[in-house]
Amino acid sequence: MIWSGLSNCVHTEPWLDMLLLAARPPAGAAVSGGQLLLWLLLAGVAVGIVSGGLYYGHRWHHRHRHQSHAALFRGLCETHRLDRSARRLLSQVGRYHRLAQPARLFTEPEWLEPAKLGDRFSAKAGEVADLRTRLFAVAAPPAT
């Protein structure tokens, strides 16, 4: 039996001794097949729950990281080789317009028209116009 060789082991940790003694069945007690099956079943259920949690957690993370509006926006910024300041400016414009899908800024140039941006972006009007020209190769209409 596995427990008979434990006394021959050399270890110096008292907490390990306590664990080994706690796991050791009482002298003369036999482990029934039903108990063993129950413990194996519980271990299998625990492994299944942990495995399922890891699987669904990985799927959620992948979907959130790679299949979302934010991921599409990041990908378009990378495709257009926008630097950090241009990305931040586009993100601010998207929030200003309360766009649920910020990637619309790459398909609808009217969001980047200086007349629609209000006073908040008046100091950055030149940057917005340059960004609009860079994304759409279209100059912004003159402000009226």
pLDDT value at 86 more than 60: yes
Helix, strand, coil content of the chain in percent (nearest 5): 75, 0, 25
Of 68 and 73, the structure prediction assigns the larger pLDDT to 73
pLDDT at 1: 43
DSSP 8-state code for residue 9: -
105 phi, psi to nearest 5 deg? -60, -25
Q: How far apart are CA 116 and CA 121, in angstroms?
A: 10
pLDDT value at 72 more than 50: yes
Of 144 and 63, the structure prediction assigns the larger pLDDT to 63
pLDDT at 118: 80
> What is the Cα 128 distance to its own chain's centre?
31
